[in-house]
Every structure is written in structure tokens, then in C-alpha cells.
Structure 1
Amino acid sequence: MDFPFYIFGIHPHLLFEALAYFIGFRVYLYTRNKDKIPVDTALWVVVGAVLGAAIGSKLLYWFEDPFKTIENWNRIIYLMEGKTIVGGLLGGLIGVETAKKLIGWKRSTGDDFVLPLTVGMMIGRMGCFFTGLDDHTYGVETTWITGVDFGDGINRHPTQLYEIVFLGILLLVLYKLKRNSTGWEGLLFQLFMLGYLGFRLMIDFIKPTPHPFWGLNNIQIASLLGIAYYIWLISKKQSEKRRGFHA
């Protein structure tokens, strides 16, 4: 296979990214809890998520190589290229919470995003894989049977495919937990974020990106902060639930 692998003459990154947004949005509209969230509220939440994700994914990307970003601060092409899923997720979270505050909505909306996010991310990672070296999402050199030559004669970890498999397993586990438990609103999304951020913390050790922050890269630092936040949030919710039970 040659990389990038064009499909019907369309660049794979462009094709799969467009499919990820389109299908992910359609899945959200179809599966969201219509009894819990009115249509107008759901659309404002989506707007907040999209804007927050766009800003977050770009900001975190600039911290991949901060010195290079400083050197190219006045180059629009450099500033506009590249983005990160972790930055998009954390930025989207901030965007959603901001939108909810602006419209006065206080109930959790995160659980409705788990399925569309997972589907969209899996589709998007297919585009990353078929793009090959140009996408910079591959892993380091490996002798594993899973190694893929993206065109430079070196077998590398196909970390994009690892992520697709992990997301599929995570989704199955979360929905099994959902059927067998009576958790609070938002728990599914919180566990999704914990699982994915934990995965990114580990998988980025086998990616050939700069690790300028005490042996960690920008994604891993953001993942650690996100993990700490969700551990705190889940612990807080558990304490509130126990107090309510005893009361």
C-alpha cells in the first residue's frame, strides 16, 4: 500500500475527517436523550463543543514543540497546521461547560457525547493511518508483527490502529457498565475521558514526538491534568452520593 492512500482521488485525511464530523454529529442527534435535553439546548451544547474543541486542539498542538512555535509565531501556515484530539476533548469540555452556563443549563450532557465521540474518533484515526508519514501520528520503529512501513522503509507502530482497537474495547466496557449499574448523570463520559486520557498518556511513549517536559510531551502533560481532574470529580460525586444515602 502506498501512503497517503487516496480514495476516489480524495486525500484520506480530508475524507475521513469530514466523515468523522458528519457521522459523529448524526449519531449524536439520533442517540441523545431527547427527554432530558431539549433540541435548542442540545444545539447550543454542540456549538460550545465544536468551538472549544477547535481552540483546544490548536492550542495544545502549539505546545508540542514550544521553541519551534515561538520561532514561527508570525507564520500563519505553521500556526494553522496540526491539531490534537486530547486538546480537542479538553477544549470541547470547557466549551460545553461555558455554553451551559450561558444558557443556564445545569444538568449533565456528557453521556450523550460518548458514542458519537468514539465513532468520530475511530473514523478520524482511519484517515490518520491512511495518510501515513505526513500525519505524524505513527509510532516509533518496531519489530512487532503489527509494524507498518508508511513509505520510508521503516516498520513503525501503527498507533492509529491501536487507538481504534482501544476505543472499540472502551466503548463496549462502558456500555456494559452502564447496563449493570445505577451511576449518576455524566459518569459514562467521565469514565470515557479517564480511559482515553490514560491510554494517550501511555501510547505517547512510543511516538517519535518531542518530550520536552521532564520526559513527557504536550499530550501527556494535558492527559495527566485531565486525569487528575476527573479523579477529583468522580471522588467528589461519590462523596456526595454517600452523604445523600446516609442522610
Structure 2
Amino acid sequence: MTPVAIHTVCETLAYAVGFRTFLWTRQRLAPGAFKHKDEVAWIAVSAIVGAALGAKLSYWLDDPLTAFANFPDLRNLLLGKSIIGALLGGLLGVELCKKIAGIQQSTGDAFVLPLTVGMCIGRVGCYLAGLQDHTYGNATSLPWGVDFGDGIARHPTQIYEILFLLAQYAWIHLRRHELAPGDRFRAFMIGYLLFRLLVEFIKPLFYAYPGHMSGLQWLCIAGLLYYHRDLPRIAQILFKGNRSAWEPR
């Protein structure tokens, strides 16, 4: 099986398992996220559309030289995508949908476990796809460096991400009773954006923006700024377990 086929299989599996997990978690772990069944459909469609657009736009931002090579030939524009853009695009899509539909309650908590599971499965596909996926790290002399096919031992950043996602979910789940509705998703997003902001420093830089940072890193910063008011409160709850640090919202 070719690397592209392996990645496609894992990506399809990630969507399927993530969706099934969502159906389970919205009833068991986040029963108050949706008041009516039609809200599930509207939120899901908004998240999917926003994620698809965000994933594509973030790829264009991160690696414009590749994306717009041979323009107006559109084939390169349709190739890549990024989970950072998908998360931020999905977030914007859901928030816009909720505003239009007048949905007041927080819905993000229902997505934390599905996103964690789906992203972990997807990163397995990225790891197995090797160099063609462009998610590998820079060269390293560390004993766990992986040769993805070019004879160079590299940081297995896909594995780093899987381990981080699992550890993050375990920690958020452990503190779930101390978090206000919606805070589990906020904690997930803040943690992941911080992780990606840092791990991108040990990955190839395809196009340098100000600060010698990638487009994805600047997207991470934009996402963290979106959550800047929630960050101190959630950090205090997660690391100090202080229920008085938040008020129900």
C-alpha cells in the first residue's frame, strides 16, 4: 500500500471513529451540550464546513510557494490541509451557527474526546505516510529519531502529538468536575495551540513569516489571543484545582 493510500485509510478511519465517538460522548460526557436533536445537525454541518475551509486556507497560508506553484493550475491548491486551520475554522463555523440559530449553551465539550481520538488516528496515518506527508520533524541525534526514508533520523513529531493529545485528554478528564460548561473544549484548544506553537520550531519551515515563524504558528497565536481571557482561569483550575477560579457561564 502506498503512503498516500495509508494516509487516506487512516484519515477515513479517523472521521468514522470520531463521529461515532461524538454520538456517544454527547450523551455520556456532555449531556447538556445540546437541547434539541436538530441542534446536533446544524452544529455538525457548521463544524464540518468551517473545518474544511479552514484546513485548506491554513495550508495556503503555511506553504504558499507550493500551494500556488504553477498557478492558475489548481491541482497544488487542492493537495494540502492543516488540522490547526480545521480546528479554528470549525470553531468559527460553530460560533456563527450558534449566533444565527440563537443557541446559548456551550457545545464544545461534546467534541473534546472525538477530536482527541480522531486526531490520534490521523497522526498514525501521517507517521506511516513518511516524507510525503510533510508532518515530520527536523534532524535529531536523539535515540528515538526516525528515518522516514531519506536516511536522516528525524523528530517523530507525529508521535509527540499523539502522546500529548492522550496526556492532555487524561488531564482534562481528571479535572472535568471542576471546569465550567465549555471549559473542557477551551482547555483542549488552548493546550493544543500551545503545543503546536512550540513543536513547529522543530519542524521544517516551508515559508518564513515575521519572527522566523510559520503561518501555522501565527494561526496558533491568533487562536490563543481568541482565548486570552479564559487562559488564566482555566490554567488555574487545571493546575491548582481551584473551583473558585470560575463562575458558571
What pairs with 1:143-222 in structure 2 (closer than 5 Å)? 143-179=141-177, 181=178, 183-214=179-210, 215-222=212-219
Q: Distance in 1 between matches of 2:73 and 2:203?
A: 26
Q: Distance in 2 between matches of 1:35 and 1:149?
A: 46
Evaluate the alpha carbon distance shift between residue 236 and residue 152 of structure 1 in structure 2; reply closer, same or farther with a 3 A threshold: closer
1:65 corresponds to? 63
Q: Distance in 1 between matches of 2:167 and 2:90?
A: 23
Is the 1:3–1:133 contact (alpha carbons within 8 Å) kept by the matching residues of 2? no
Evaluate the alpha carbon distance shift between residue 142 and residue 227 of structure 1 in structure 2; reply closer, same or farther with a 3 A threshold: same
Q: Distance in 2 between matches of 1:198 and 1:109?
A: 22
Report how far residue 66 of structure 1 moved: 3.1
Q: Distance in 1 between matches of 2:65 and 2:132?
A: 21
Report how far residue 103 of structure 1 moved: 2.0
What pairs with 1:122-133 in structure 2 (closer than 5 Å)? 122-133=120-131
Report how far residue 70 of structure 1 moved: 4.7
Q: Where in structure 2 are there 5+ consecutive unaligned residues?
A: 237-243
Residues 162-199 of structure 1, C-alpha deviations (whole Å, 9 max, x = no match):
000000000001011113x1x32111111111100000
Evaluate the alpha carbon distance shift between residue 73 and residue 236 of structure 1 in structure 2; reply closer, same or farther with a 3 A threshold: farther
1:29 alignment partner AA: L
1:14 corresponds to? 8
Q: Distance in 2 between matches of 1:107 and 1:166?
A: 29
1:40 to 33, 38, 41: 38
Q: Distance in 2 between matches of 1:89 and 1:111?
A: 14
Report how far residue 232 of structure 1 moved: 2.3
Matched, 1:27 2:24: no
2:187 alignment partner AA: L
Residues 147-175 of structure 1, C-alpha deviations (whole Å, 9 max, x = no match):
11111111111100100000000000101
> What is the count of residue pairs matched by the alignment?
235
Matched, 1:232 2:229: yes
TM-score by length of 1: 0.88
Q: Distance in 1 between matches of 2:33 and 2:189?
A: 22
1:7 corresponds to? none
Q: Distance in 1 between matches of 2:170 and 2:31?
A: 23
Q: Distance in 2 between matches of 1:243 and 1:42?
A: 27
Is the 1:211–1:218 contact (alpha carbons within 8 Å) kept by the matching residues of 2? yes
Residues 94-125 of structure 1, C-alpha deviations (whole Å, 9 max, x = no match):
01111212322111101111000010000000
Q: Distance in 1 between matches of 2:181 and 2:246?
A: 17
Report how far residue 209 of structure 1 moved: 2.4
Q: Distance in 1 between matches of 2:247 and 2:124?
A: 45
Is the 1:27–1:115 contact (alpha carbons within 8 Å) kept by the matching residues of 2? yes
1:109 alignment partner AA: T
Once the two structures are aligned, what percentage of the paired residues are identical? 45
Is the 1:3–1:150 contact (alpha carbons within 8 Å) kept by the matching residues of 2? no
Evaluate the alpha carbon distance shift between residue 112 and residue 142 of structure 1 in structure 2; reply closer, same or farther with a 3 A threshold: same
What pairs with 1:80-119 in structure 2 (closer than 5 Å)? 80-119=78-117
Report how far residue 211 of structure 1 moved: 4.5
What pairs with 1:43-54 in structure 2 (closer than 5 Å)? 43-54=41-52
**Large movers: runs of 4+ above 2 Å:** 33-36, 65-73, 232-238, 241-245
Evaluate the alpha carbon distance shift between residue 242 and residue 35 of structure 1 in structure 2; reply closer, same or farther with a 3 A threshold: closer
Q: Where in structure 1 are there 5+ consecutive unaligned residues?
A: 5-9
Q: Distance in 2 between matches of 1:19 and 1:243?
A: 37
Q: Distance in 2 between matches of 1:207 and 1:28?
A: 31
Is the 2:180–2:246 contact (alpha carbons within 8 Å) kept by the matching residues of 1? no
Q: Distance in 2 between matches of 1:89 and 1:80?
A: 19
